[in-house]
Every structure is written in structure tokens, then in C-alpha cells.
């Protein structure tokens, strides 16, 4: 069996910088494009920094045609700043992190009320806002608590293109259905695992990410929405590479590295559920329709020939352990 995808997109990707970028960029090159996260150290805050980062990504991609949809780290902006961002061809959206909520987000927003004048302008200008939606409450309740913020924003700014990034709960899906202006991304791991897989037995650091994987009923709801072709639910891997020594240690960094196996694993998952024809919408068409994107029409064919996931990806002095390291996946990319 085969599935041919046109312009698969990863709507939430961490490529990092420097040697890690050089290792990970080519491992995402089967996608036609991706939304690139700005949480570098220091974060990508200005159009100049954004353009320079986009150039470093192009260099690291080594010629693969790849539409990088660049994001700026959100802080309150003047209209002139928003217009300058919008005039930057590589710019796609702002990414808002509550201060200190995850990796390299210390410079994020401390008080949502400060964002409102900027969000009003973004709504008028048609600039999308992508949000890491977690509160600072009890770790399993953080997303559920943040839903009230999303609700307030959707009510106050009904035309703002607002993306709930990497949703992990059935409650977030309900909110998505309530407000047609909202969209959401979901990761591969949150379609496949629950908290039991992370911490129910021996701790599995390579499955530890923020937000944490939740309950079986949450995973089931997310999977049903993805397989059922929810028109405002997009694939966003949140593939977040960290060096092996920062994962296999005391104080494990949050992030699951899935980029190189995401498409084969998604194909396996959708085919196993008899939903192969829905994959195109999930990995490309839904996002293109919502944002008005026109990615290069690159085609990728997936086939049910098994692939062995390497135990480790190595290069440029970096080592990263992927999800499903050393395991066999039933599908692969046809080269
Ligand atoms: O697990 C995560 N890792 N969640 C995030 O929000 C950030 C990401 C990272 O940058 O490592
Ligand atoms: Zn992320």
C-alpha cells in the first residue's frame, strides 16, 4: 500500500541553531515546509534576527526546497513593529510563551493583559498568534486551566487567527469546536502515548515533553479528531531535539525528537485505522486552507515497507535520541 502526500507541512518544529540545526534540518527535509519555533537563546525577536535565522536554516537544508514559516517570540509590539514583521517575506506568525513555561521561555509574557493592544492590531492586520497554552498550575491541569485564556481571546478577538499549539486534552478539542476562529496543532506523541508511557513504569526521558502526555481518554479524543479529519486540527510535531546528555540525566530537558520518523509513523497510524485518505488534510490541506498558505507542491510517497528507527542520530558533534529509537515502524518513505 502507498500514500502520496502533496506538500506535507509540520506546523510546529524546533530546529535549534548551530551544530544542532545542521544535524536536524536535513532530518526534516521530507516535509515541504514547517513553522519554525523562535525559542533560541536568545529568542528570535526582531525581523533582522528572523531573516538571519531563516538563512542559517536554508544553509543547513543544503538545497532541499523547504518553505520555512518563521515565527517571532511574542512581546507587546507597536503597529510599526507589526508592520515591519509583516513586510518580512519569511515571517509567518508570533509565538507567545507564558514566561518560564517551557524550554527557553524565560523572556515570555508575564501578564496576558499586556498583550491585548497588540492582539487587537494583529487581528486587524491578519497576523496569526500561536500560543503555548499552559498555566503555572499543577502540571496535569496546566492546559485545562489555560483554556479560559483561549476562551477570553477568542471572544475578544473573534477574527484573530489563534492557534492552540500542541493540544493534549479532550477539553481543548471541545473549545476548538466552540470557536470557529481557533485552530490547533497536535503532535505525533500525543496521538500515540499517555502519561503511563512516560512515567507509568521505568521513566522514559525521551517521551518527556511539555505539555505532558495526558489520560487515555484524551489521547483517544485527539486521535479520533485527527483521523476524523477535523478541519482546524493540523499536524505540528513539536519535534524538539535536545543533546542526549541533556535527556539522560538528572533534570531531563522537555522535548521529544520525532522529525525523521513523523511521516512514516503517521502513515502507519492513519492506514491502521482505515483513514489513509485523511492524512493529506491533517498534514497539509487543513493548515493551507486556514492560513491561506501555498507551499511548493512537492510530493512524498509513503509505503508499507518497514523502516528501522536508528538508536541515535549523530553529526556535527551532536547526538540526539529519537522517539521509537531502535524500533521498527511498519511504513517508510519511498526514495
Ligand atoms: O517539550 C517541549 N520542548 N515543549 C516545549 O514547549 C518546548 C520544547 C523545546 O523547545 O524543547
Ligand atoms: Zn514547541
* Residue 238 CA, ligand 2 centroid: distance in Å: 5
Considering the four listed CATH numbers 3.30.390.10, 3.90.1580.10, 3.20.20.140, 3.40.710.10, the one that applies to the domain covering 2-333 is: 3.20.20.140
pLDDT recorded at residue 294: 96
Q: Answer whether residue 64 shows pLDDT above 90.
A: no
Selecting among 59, 238, 285, 304, the annotated active-site residue is 238
**CA–CA distance, 156 with 142 (Å, rounded to integer):** 22
Q: Ion ligand 2 — residues with CB under 5 Å?
A: 238
Average pLDDT for residues 211-223, to the nearest whole number? 98
**CA–CA distance, 141 with 211 (Å, rounded to integer):** 10
pLDDT recorded at residue 333: 98
pLDDT in tens, 245-274: 999 999 999 999 999 999 999 999 999 999
Q: Answer whether residue 36 shows pLDDT above 90.
A: yes
**CA–CA distance, 192 with 235 (Å, rounded to integer):** 13
pLDDT recorded at residue 99: 95
The distance from CA 167 to its chain's CA centroid, rounded to whole angstroms, is 10
pLDDT recorded at residue 46: 98
pLDDT band of 32, cuts 50, 70, 90: very high
Contact 232, 176 (CB under 8 A): yes
pLDDT band of 62, cuts 50, 70, 90: confident
Average pLDDT for residues 298-321, to the nearest whole number? 98
What are the extents of the domains in the chain? 2-333
* Residue 188 CA, ligand 1 centroid: distance in Å: 14
Q: Is the CB of 206 under 6 A from ligand 1?
A: no
Work out the percent of the chain whose per-residue pLDDT is above 90. 98
* Residue 240 CA, ligand 2 centroid: distance in Å: 7
Residue nearest to atom 2 of ligand 1 (CA): 255
Q: Is the CB of 102 under 6 A from ligand 1?
A: yes
> CB 314: neighbour CB atoms within 10 A?
12
pLDDT recorded at residue 63: 85
pLDDT recorded at residue 8: 98
Residue nearest to atom 3 of ligand 1 (CA): 255
Average pLDDT for residues 11-29, to the nearest whole number? 98
**Residue 243 region by backbone torsions, left for phi larger than 0, else alpha for psi between -120 and 50, else beta:** beta
Amino acid at each position: 500500500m502507498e500514500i502520496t502526500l502533496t506538500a506535507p507541512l509540520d506546523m510546529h518544529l524546533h530546529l535549534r541553531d548551530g551544530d544542532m540545526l545542521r544535524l536536524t534540518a536535513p532530518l526534516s527535509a521530507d516535509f515541504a515546509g514547517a513553522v519554525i519555533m523562535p525559542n533560541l537563546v536568545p529568542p528570535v525577536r526582531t525581523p533582522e534576527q528572523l531573516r538571519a535565522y531563516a538563512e542559517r536554516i536554508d544553509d543547513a537544508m543544503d538545497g532541499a526546497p523547504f518553505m520555512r514559516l518563521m515565527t517571532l517570540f511574542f512581546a507587546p509590539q507597536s503597529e510599526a513593529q507589526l508592520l515591519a514583521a509583516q513586510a518580512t517575506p519569511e515571517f509567518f506568525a508570533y509565538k507567545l510563551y507564558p514566561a518560564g513555561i517551557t524550554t527557553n521561555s524565560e523572556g515570555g509574557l508575564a501578564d496576558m493583559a499586556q498583550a491585548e493592544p497588540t492582539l487587537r492590531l494583529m487581528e486587524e492586520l491578519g497576523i496569526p498568534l500561536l500560543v503555548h497554552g499552559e498555566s503555572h498550575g499543577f502540571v496535569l491541569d496546566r492546559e485545562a486551566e489555560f483554556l479560559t485564556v483561549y476562551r477570553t481571546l477568542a471572544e475578544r478577538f473573534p477574527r484573530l487567527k489563534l492557534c492552540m499549539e500542541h493540544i493534549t486534552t479532550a477539553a481543548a478539542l471541545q473549545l476548538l469546536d466552540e470557536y470557529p476562529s481557533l485552530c490547533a496543532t497536535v503532535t505525533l506523541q500525543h496521538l500515540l502515548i499517555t502519561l503511563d508511557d512516560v512515567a507509568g513504569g521505568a521513566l522514559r526521558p525521551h517521551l518527556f515533553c511539555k505539555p505532558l502526555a495526558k489520560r487515555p481518554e484524551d489521547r483517544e479524543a485527539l486521535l479520533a479528531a485527527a483521523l476524523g479529519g477535523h478541519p482546524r486540527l493540523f499536524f505540528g510535531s513539536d519535534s524538539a531535539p535536545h543533546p542526549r546528555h541533556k535527556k539522560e540525566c538528572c533534570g531531563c530537558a522537555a522535548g521529544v525528537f520525532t522529525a525523521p520518523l513523523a511521516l512514516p509513523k503517521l502513515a502507519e497510524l492513519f492506514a491502521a485505522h482505515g483513514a489513509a485518505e485523511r492524512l493529506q488534510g491533517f498534514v497539509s490541506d487543513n493548515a493551507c486552507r486556514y492560513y491561506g498558505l501555498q507551499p511548493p507542491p512537492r510530493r512524498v510517497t509513503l509505503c508499507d515497507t518497514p523502516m528501522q528507527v536508528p538508536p541515535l542520530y549523530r553529526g556535527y558533534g551532536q547526538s540526539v535520541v529519537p522517539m521509537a529509537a531502535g524500533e521498527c515502524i511498519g511504513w517508510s518513505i519511498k526514495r
